[in-house]
Structure 1
Amino acid sequence: MQLRQLPTRRSFLLSATVAVVLAAALFLAGGLGLSPWSVSQSTPEASAGRGPATGADPLAADISTLQDRARRNPRDPVALGTLGLNYVQQAKITADPTYYPKAEEVLKRSLTLDSTDNFAAMGGMAALESARHNFSQGLDWAKRAVAVNPYNATLYGTLADAYTQLGRYSEAADAVQKMVDLKPGTPSLARASYAAELRGNTTTARTDMQRALQSAGSPADQAFARYYLSEMAFNNGDAHQALTDAEQGLRAVPNDAPLLQIKARAEAALGKNTEALTDLARAGQRLPLPEYVLQLGELYQSLGRTKEADQQYDIFRAEQKLFAANGVTLDSDAALFEADHGDHKQALALARKSLQSRPFLDSQDALAWALHTNGQDEEALTASNKALALGTRNALFHYHRGMIQQSLGNTDAARDDLTKALTINPHFNPLHAPKAQAALKAG
């Protein structure tokens, strides 16, 4: 029988210093924010936009302290590794990708000083590469970190996130189960919920997320769990429940950006467009994520306010350029945007590149839609089938396949998918849901 590798003495010393930061930063950079329902997405995040509403920013204060410590002792791998993790976390919280090059620089310096037992810096590199959508590299670093410290639950979260985004779903499920076994709590139960949701098991997914909420030890964790409960309700067509969950989360953390965003989507579904526009704008001001900008643009467009929509689309393009300039691989979001609002050829190029680096369900769907907009529907149908192969309940995926089937002249199949899309969520997108309804009436 092969003995399980135990952490070294130095690993335990590192654990005492960086465990809290590691858990926070790696969970923030995890795959939940890259899920098909958060447009991550991948990745992956847990507390983005959930800094304190008032007072000093504790993460910024920690960064300043660690910077001073690293200047006084530039050969301190723990300080450098923890600083790198904090940079990754700050990038997620602020949606500022310029922190990624800073994180890479200090994490590599940390690993130069200690490349053997430095699981914190290895985990930091895993989080960084996943945050930049370089999932193969993220997986390699996560494996190295787990080999050094196989009893750190958070590291199995990074492993699961990378496996998920690489389309290795069984291995991801095994890593999630290991994480739950080691430390059942909000981070591990949330990932278990996501694994069930990917397979279309929404009952188990909601149960696991309710358990994550019950395990929440802080207002930020409560807001995180409430956000995903709200999103699951919205994605399954229950806008009233989605609004309730979002409002309950906002009582825990007022002005929380993800909760404002999902609240806005529920409000739009319920015809409360003025409130939806206000909340989406607030979410974007709090956390300027491209997905929020795009959702606001599409809501404006659905209301006939094309000038405001075009302004948001210009901002989206600028943000994509900023992310790319700081090492983030553009993938399904950028491809779908170009397919719907821009250059169809560029959409296809982005989608093909995305599939190479991130062979996840989202990438298959984006490739399918990009192929469709370029008139390549036979190949599009193959990709669309792959996007739905796990049984995921995703209205947008079914809408895309329905429109592809319609273009191929497969009338019955088109009707089935379009009906399924609207059955799952009749308000899945302010632009595409009406098109699905129109296509069914015309067919």
Structure 2
Amino acid sequence: MQLRRLPTYRRIVLSAAVATVLAAALFLAGGLGLAPWHASQSAPSTPQAHTGRGPGTGADPLAADIATLQDRARRNPRDPVALGTLGLNYVQQAKITADPTYYSKAEEVLKRSLALESADNFAAMGGMAALEAARHNFSQGLDWAERAVAVNPYNATLYGTLADAYTQLGRYSDAADAVQRMVDLKPGTPSLARASYAAELRGDTTTARTDMQRALQSAGSPADQAFAHYYLSEMAFNNGDPRQALTNAEQGLHAVPGDAPLLQIKARAEAALGQNTEAIADLTRAGQSLPLPEYVLQLGELYQSLGRSKEADQQYEILRAEQKLFAANGVTPDSDAALFEADHGDHEKALSLARKSVKSRPFLDSQDALAWALHVNGQDKEALAASDKALALGTRNALFRYHHGMIQLSLGNTTAAHDDLTKALAINPHFNPLHAPRARAALKTT
């Protein structure tokens, strides 16, 4: 890692170990659509480190690192490097275990590190950027990322965090510039993956796949390989090819057996192919390993689509409990929470959450969630304007297009609705086990 010369001896020059943790924590806590990924370019590549296993498992290198750093910080509570590294590890552990209580721990030690060394402590600044991104506080995350980059403009990973914040704040041109700088500094799996995502947002799926294939070719560890296979699988599924998605997921699981995100995307492909028993089993395994709300919702909707309403309701209750836990630990509810309430809960709450989300995170997902929340509350003219914003970049997203079509239908614009619903199903006929059948049924009325 290239460092600029710092003007005083007292300023922090990170050791190789700290640089490794910086790259790991910032990569996993960043963007790519806030996908539930927890692998990183520099994290330990043993399968145990990437299967959602929490502290106390013995084989978990991250838990061992945390214990070592905790002891080091106890012995020398004025060591800013130890505290900064510990904070980054806590952010990483929160993502790996889906345990949001690590966020408050991370904030406490990162602030202590910055209090001891505030001027050039780019590791702790980057850690704060990662923490705020993980909590969905993207304006604050951007502030910290910009401060970190100003101190060390030669660290590629910091530009990744900067790009993630710009993306979530709807500053897509700035995000593209930051991604390009990241690629220029260090072409590899993290930077190429972000370049792929930027292309995907523009609707350029050919470039997105090419860049992700390059990310796979650059993968230097099983974790990186699994990461690239996950996104290749997701792209294949999102573009209506569940068989290819299944192949990519299985290849990733060969690299990192039992990985929760890969099990989740594998289950989506299986459900699309009618392999519901396998899909339920894989989603259950994913949720047991990494209990993210997204997995719980996916399993609930799969159960609901199969007429298993009692089991679906159980998953939705679990999801509500998880949302309360995340909120209690400073995680701002976002578009996923708004869409859940719009589809399965309180419509007024959905609209309140969606308005807050689009204010703090004016990303495409938030615009789409706002559109849908407005629609279910009968405010379709305003909903159409928000849905137009969700589609403004040309992103190929079947759910966005479905929402747009249903809003058009409610407004009586049957020709436009027919066009939107046809496009949604052409992009991905299996985009959602509940909404895809509704799209087909609505088409018959246009």
**TM, length-normalised to structure 2:** 0.95
Secondary structure of 1:13's counterpart equals coil
Secondary structure of 1:314's counterpart equals helix
| 1:40-439 matched pairs, under 5 angstroms | 45-47=38-40, 51=49, 56-439=59-442
Residue matched to 2:54: none
After superposition, the C-alpha distances for 1:306-335 in whole angstroms (9 at most, x for unaligned) are 000000000000000000000000010000
With 52-61 and 337-346 compared, the bigger mean Cα shift is at 52-61
Residue matched to 2:14: 14
Distance in 1 (CA, whole Å) between partners of 2:33 and 2:395 is: 17
RMSD over aligned CA atoms reads 1.5
| Aligned partner letter, 2:32 | L
Distance 1:400 1:50, change over 3 A: farther
After superposition, the C-alpha distances for 1:19-73 in whole angstroms (9 at most, x for unaligned) are 1000000001010251xxx4x5xxx744599725685100000000000000000
Distance in 1 (CA, whole Å) between partners of 2:48 and 2:431 is: 26
Distance in 2 (CA, whole Å) between partners of 1:273 and 1:410 is: 36
- Name structure 2 gaps, 5 residues minimum: 52-56
Distance in 1 (CA, whole Å) between partners of 2:240 and 2:68 is: 47
Distance 1:33 1:15, change over 3 A: farther
| Aligned partner letter, 2:424 | A
| Contact 1:81–1:106 under 8 Å retained in 2 | yes
| Contact 1:50–1:256 under 8 Å retained in 2 | no
Distance in 2 (CA, whole Å) between partners of 1:88 and 1:325 is: 16
Shift of 1:424: 0.2
Shift of 1:18: 1.0
- Name structure 1 gaps, 5 residues minimum: none
Distance in 1 (CA, whole Å) between partners of 2:58 and 2:192 is: 31
| Contact 1:256–1:283 under 8 Å retained in 2 | yes
Distance in 1 (CA, whole Å) between partners of 2:277 and 2:413 is: 39
Distance in 1 (CA, whole Å) between partners of 2:423 and 2:137 is: 33
Distance in 1 (CA, whole Å) between partners of 2:333 and 2:376 is: 19
Q: How many residue pairs get matched?
A: 432
Residue matched to 1:29: 29
| Contact 1:230–1:242 under 8 Å retained in 2 | yes
| Aligned partner letter, 1:193 | S
| Aligned partner letter, 1:88 | V
Distance in 1 (CA, whole Å) between partners of 2:408 and 2:50 is: 48
| Contact 1:335–1:348 under 8 Å retained in 2 | yes
Distance in 1 (CA, whole Å) between partners of 2:73 and 2:346 is: 46
| Contact 1:153–1:180 under 8 Å retained in 2 | yes
Shift of 1:6: 3.5
After superposition, the C-alpha distances for 1:357-411 in whole angstroms (9 at most, x for unaligned) are 1000000000000000000000000000000000000000000000000000000
| Aligned partner letter, 1:32 | L
After superposition, the C-alpha distances for 1:218-237 in whole angstroms (9 at most, x for unaligned) are 00110000000000000000
Secondary structure of 1:330's counterpart equals coil
| Contact 1:30–1:45 under 8 Å retained in 2 | no
Distance in 1 (CA, whole Å) between partners of 2:382 and 2:38 is: 33
Distance 1:435 1:322, change over 3 A: same
